[in-house]
Amino acid sequence: MRLWVRTLIRNSFFQVGAGILITMMIGGFVLQWLEPGEISKDNNPFWWAIVTMTTVGYGDFSPETPGGRIFAVLIMFIGISLVSLLTATISSIFVAQKIREGKGLENLNLTDHLILCGWNPNGERVLNSIQLLGRGEKNDLVLINELNEEEISKLKNRYNDLNIHFVAGDFTQEEILKKASINDADTVIVIPNTTGSEVATYDEKTIFATLTIKSIDPGIRVVAVLLDRENLTHIKRANADEVVVGDDFSAHIIASHVMDPGIPQIANQLMDSNSTSRFKRVAIPSEYVGKPYDDLFNYFRQKDGSVLIGVFSEDENLGIGAILSSDASALDAFIEKKLKEGGISLNEESKINVVINPANGYILNEGERAIIIP
């Protein structure tokens, strides 16, 4: 209690407010003593004091005696000083908050937002794609990294279709994540961080961050990006919802340029955020649920010429990473080896189940969404 009172007394806003209240009370009582006329009746002295202090000066009451007028001048100067201090105090609070936000030190109060942990040269491509795929919506996006204030300002100006917020610090720390309202986030993206001075490898930091996020709330959706496929098992044990390995597509594209010319160019068109012919996901009209896939194909083709290439749904499957223990033991390694030899991929624990160009007679199910090429 004493600490609370001491903190309150030291607060500049409280001090100025208390000064205004005390001046008003003293001014009212002294004026009652100096002025015998209409101004001293009822609550008129206190009304006059606050009007005089704020220099409003309605003129409904004014002192008539020399002593009252001299006292009124004193009240005016005190009032001007206190009101100026009050304005300056309020302004300084907002300015300080803006400065702290710019430096990434302020706690954010957001819901259903995106969080991007880490930073590397591909970070701007991620922001650009999110902005283009946002369909004109002003999405809230929080960056958690160790960039300086000037670099963050440039990103905010460059991607002004996104509401970019910033939290400075190590995104593997629970305290830093909570500053970004991690519990109310829609999705968290963790990319290899090349801006810090940590000794750990980039993938180790990504895995550690995923573990921290899932320990805060296992229901938070996490998309993790790895550089080394050897770390795939570890990130799956950390329960990442989706994993992107940096060399997944690049190796195939390189080989396709040699063996299948034309395929890489088509793939670039389908995956490019700026392309008008890129993949898009759309809702399936309710009247087509329970009907054959071919009916939906014809619907999109006749509607606007779009081509339906498949459907997807979200599952809650138990992944291999959840079955294996948290220790990278020889037994786990043996199990993984045998699963791979049996043709079972570690990626099967993904919660997104995709069906591309299903067989004839495929019936559309409740909860599925369509993937089309416009």
* Tens digit of pLDDT at every position of the chain (374 positions): 677 777 777 777 777 778 888 888 888 888 778 877 766 777 677 787 877 777 666 666 677 778 877 888 888 888 888 888 878 877 777 776 676 666 667 888 889 899 999 998 888 888 888 888 776 677 889 999 888 888 988 998 888 888 899 998 889 999 999 999 999 998 999 998 887 655 457 888 999 999 999 999 888 989 888 888 888 888 888 888 888 887 666 666 656 766 678 877 888 788 777 788 888 889 999 999 999 999 999 999 999 899 999 999 876 544 445 445 444 455 556 555 555 555 544 444 456 788 899 988 899 999 899 999 98
**Are the beta carbons of 192 and 139 closer than 8 angstroms?**
no
In whole angstroms, give the CA distance from residue 87 to residue 79.
12
d(CA 162, CA 152): 13
pTM score: 0.60
- Residue type at position 115: I
Beta bridge partners of 167: 144
What are the structural domains, with CATH classification, of the chain?
2-102 (1.10.287.70), 107-247 (3.40.50.720)
Give the SS3 label for residue 356.
Answer: strand
Count of CA atoms in the C-beta half-sphere (13 A) of 197: 1
Q: Give the helix ranges, DSSP H, for the chain.
A: 2-10, 12-34, 44-53, 66-102, 123-133, 149-158, 174-179, 202-216, 232-237, 250-259, 263-271, 293-304, 320-323, 330-341
What residues are paired with 243 via a beta bridge?
A: 224
Q: Is 367 left (phi over 0), alpha (psi -120 to 50) or beta?
A: left
Residue with tokens 């992107």: 244
